[in-house]
Amino acid sequence: MANRWTNDLSGRDVTPEHIYMNRRTLLAGLAASAALPGMARGQSLPEPNSWDDITSYNNYYEFGTGKGDPARNAHRLTVSPWTVRIDGLVDKPGDYAFDDIMKNMTIEERIYRFRCVEAWSMVVPWNGFELADLLDMVGVQGAAKYVAFETVARPEEMPGLRSRVLDWPYVEGLRLDEAMHPLTIMATGIYGRDIPKQNGAPLRLVVPWKYGYKSIKSIVRITLTDKEPPTSWNKSQPSEYGFYSNVNPTVDHPRWSQASERRIGGGLFSSRIDTLMFNGYEQEVASLYKDMDLVKYH
C-alpha cells in the first residue's frame, strides 16, 4: 500500500482562479514552493482549463447525455443538506452529514489531467481531501477488499433518469488499495470554489490515473465490501468497460484509440498529444498492478 501523503493545507491555502490562469505568477510560485501536491514527479506543469471549459463540458447522464446537458439541467439538484451513508465492513457505519465530514477533513489543492470522454482531456484544479482520510475516520475492517460508491437518484430533479441508457442509480467501485492511495481524492471544489452541480456537487470521486472512468458524482453511499462491486458501465457494456479502467494507451477501447488525446478548449483542430501510461502517474501507481494482465483486467 502506498505511503500516505499528508499536509496541513486548509481552504485558505487554495490558489484563486486569477492566479492559476496567470501562468507567469504560478510558475514563480512553483519555483519557491517546489511542486503542487498531487502532481506526478517529473510531470510537466499542466495549465488548468478555464472555469467555463470545466463547467460546460460534462459527462453526467442523470442530467442528459449531451455534453452541455448537465450545465443546463443540474441547477435542479438540491445539494444541501447532504448525507452520505457509509456502511459495510467498517467500524463506524452510519449516515454522515456532508458538513460534519468537511469539519474533519483537511482540504488539499490538486491539479490533475482529467479525461472527459473518448480522446478528449482537460486539466482540472480540484480541491478536496484524500478518500483514505474518510475511510480512516470510519475504520476499515480487515476483511474489506473493495470500496463501492453510489450516486444520488432523484427522478424529480434529474431528467436523465427517465432514459434507460444505464441501470440507475449509478454505481462505481475501487479496490481498497486504489481507494487508499494518496492520489485518490474526494473532490469538493474547483479553483477554490464549491464544486458546481454539473461537476458532481457536493462530493465526487477523482482517481487521476483512471481519467474520467472512475469519476462518480454526487455520492450518497460508500460501502466497504469483500467482493468486487458492480460498476455501471461494466454492467451496461462489459466488453468495453472493465472494472479497473486504467489509462493504458496500448489497449484501445473497442470503438476508439486510447493512444492520444486532444485538450478541451484547444479547438477541433488542435494538436493531439500522446496519452501517458496511467495518465503520467506510472511511477506512483504501477506497483498496484504488478503481475496483472492489463489487457484482461482492463
Tens-level pLDDT at each residue, the chain (298 residues): 344 444 444 444 455 566 555 543 444 344 333 334 444 444 555 689 999 999 999 999 999 999 999 999 999 999 999 999 999 999 999 999 999 999 999 999 899 887 665 568 889 999 999 999 999 999 999 999 999 999 999 999 999 999 999 999 999 999 999 999 999 999 999 999 999 999 999 999 999 999 878 999 999 999 999 999 999 999 999 988 999 999 999 988 888 888 988 888 877 677 888 999 999 999 999 999 999 999 999 8
Partners of 113 in the beta sheet? 123
Q: Which of 116, 89, 104 is nearest to 217 (CA)?
A: 116
Whether residue 3 lies inside any domain: the answer is no
What's residue 199's pLDDT? 97
The alpha carbon torsion through 152, 94, 213, 153 (nearest 10 deg) reads -10
Whether residue 2 lies inside any domain: the answer is no
* Count of domains forming the chain: 1
What's residue 223's pLDDT? 99
Whether residue 6 lies inside any domain: the answer is no
Classify the C-alpha dihedral 100-103-106-110 as positive or negative: positive
Whether residue 4 lies inside any domain: the answer is no
Q: Which of 82, 75, 38, 46 is nearest to 60 (CA)?
A: 75
Whether residue 295 lies inside any domain: the answer is no
DSSP 8-state assignment for residue 153: -
The DSSP annotation for 80-98 comes to SS-EEEEEESBSS-EEEEH
Strands (E), 118-227: 120-130, 146-151, 171-175, 185-190, 193-194, 204-206, 219-225
Classify the C-alpha dihedral 172-277-286-109 as positive or negative: negative
Which residue carries 480487515 as its cell?
A: 142
Whether residue 207 lies inside any domain: the answer is yes
Domain that holds residue 178: 11-289
What's residue 40's pLDDT? 45
pTM over 0.95: no
Which residue carries 492489463 as its cell?
A: 294
Cβ neighbors of 33 (< 8 A, separation 6 or more) are none
Whether residue 5 lies inside any domain: the answer is no
- C-alpha distances (whole Å) from 231 to each of 166, 234, 245 are 11, 5, 11
Q: Which grid cell sits at 164?
A: 434507460
Cβ neighbors of 202 (< 8 A, separation 6 or more) are 79, 80, 82, 98, 188, 194, 195, 218
Whether residue 42 lies inside any domain: the answer is yes
- C-alpha distances (whole Å) from 22 to each of 27, 61, 289 are 9, 33, 38
CATH number, domain of 165, equals: 3.90.420.10
